[in-house]
Copies of this chain bind each other. A is one copy, B any other.
Amino acid sequence: MSADRIPVAILGATGLVGQHMIRILADHPWFRIGELAASDASTGHVYRDVARWALASELPADIAGMAVKASHGGFESTLVLSALPSEPARREEPRLARMGSVVCSNASAFRMDPDVPLLVPDVNPGALSLTAGQPWATAGGALITNPNCTVAGLAPVMAAMEAHWGIESATTVTLQAMSGAGIDGLSALSMAGNVIPFIPGEEEKIGAESSKILGRDIPMAVTVNRVPVADGHLAHLFLRLGKPAHPRVVEEALRSVTPAPPARDLPTIPSRTLQVLSPTDRPQPRLDVQAGNGMKVSVGRIRRVPGYDIALTVLVHNLVRGAAGACIANAELAVAAGVFTREGKRGRSGEQGA
């Protein structure tokens, strides 16, 4: 890795998504961690002392000793990865974009804003062009979002189905992992040996974000469940299509989903977006969530069922393809597409601004 990797700032660095960002960036060919930021309670402390590292892989030694900055402060790095909760994201992200930073955000705060890309590099890379119309574009800033963790899994599958057959309507039931609720989001006693058939706000997001990525309103019925699985959201999808689709042909179409350039050349995007599994009892979180280092979406159980043209089952690593990896891939695309340049664009950080 070259010494001149681009420094990035991670906001919300102590949470689970922030931890996965750190894990992925420890070995990244283009980026290095320049700054870590979190809430005021952590500010000024050393990272290892305030982050309750929750991953099975070790906290990289060089990151452990970094001082944590305040998310509401300024950063030397003008490439920013935000793992902030929605509320602080709403405050800090536009502020930093206005100062000329390119902010890649995992937060839901601005995902549905018309001029904000809801971007998946190997699905809708063109959405990135929305940044040109953002108010802070002249300052060199940009705000780019990745979708909700479940939508990150549904999007590449639905986009392929839409492209080949057109989707008339979709029904999905999800079985979502505990890590989607954060380190302390769920009580052990309530989840052990149990299913909770509801997650606040989740069903609305899945419908709305899927439509935004596909570029048109698709009627979508959604029911979500929290299940006692650590990582990996499973989604059963029933589709009505514009024309008939044979399961074998669908399987073939999904197997051949390949990232187009420039997504094809991004370090975090796998050579194939989807892993199509033939055994009738797959995908399973335990066996398949790590496919492609967590960046491949798994698909199985492709079949016809009464009342629909096709049914299938999707599995996504909610914290990697669904969050940290998605956000990093978006930053990679911003670099590859020239939205972010090392020198800044038209005076990033406002030094030469208006």
Contact = CB atoms under 8 A, between A and B. Distances in A.
Interface of A: 53-58, 169, 171, 173, 175, 178-179, 181, 183-198, 207, 219-223, 225, 227-230, 234, 236, 238, 280-287, 289-291, 300-301, 305-308, 311, 313
Contacts of A169: 306-307
A73 B197 CA distance: 39
Contacts of A286: 56, 190, 192-194
Contact of A219 (B282, B306, B311): B306
Which one of A57, A186, A187, A301 has the highest number of Cβ atoms from chain B below 10 Å of its Cβ?
A187
B195 A227 contact: yes
Nearest to A58: B291
Given A187-B186, A301-B197, A219 B307 contact: yes
Given A56-B290, A194-B284, A281-B197, A173 B234 contact: no
B236 A223 contact: yes
Contacts of A219: 306-307
8 contacts: A57-B290, A179-B189, A185-B187, A192-B286, A194-B285, A194-B287, A197-B284, A223-B305
Which 9 pairs, one residue from A and one from B, show the smallest C-beta to C-beta distance? A221-B305, A173-B173, A186-B188, A188-B191, A194-B286, A198-B281, A219-B306, A184-B187, A56-B290
A175 B198 CA distance: 13
Stoichiometry, copies per complex: 4
A190 B58 CA distance: 16
B221 A195 contact: no
A197 B175 CA distance: 10
Contacts of A313: 197, 223
A71 B308 CA distance: 44
A197 B307 contact: no
A225 B185 CA distance: 22
Given A227-B175, A238-B171, A283-B197, A221 B307 contact: yes
Contacts of A185: 187-189
B197 A287 contact: no
B175 A225 contact: yes
Contact of A307 (B171, B179, B188, B225): B171
Which one of A58, A171, A282 has the highest number of Cβ atoms from chain B below 10 Å of its Cβ?
A171
Contacts of A281: 196-198
Contacts of A291: 58
A302 to B, nearest CB: 12
Contact of A284 (B173, B196, B289): B196
A183 B58 CA distance: 27
Given A223-B305, A305-B223, A193 B192 contact: yes
A229 B311 contact: no
Contacts of A54: 189-190, 287
B289 A56 contact: yes
A221 B193 CA distance: 27
A306 B192 contact: no
A210 B219 CA distance: 27
A230 B197 contact: no
B230 A189 contact: yes
Which one of A179, A283, A307 has the highest number of Cβ atoms from chain B below 10 Å of its Cβ?
A307
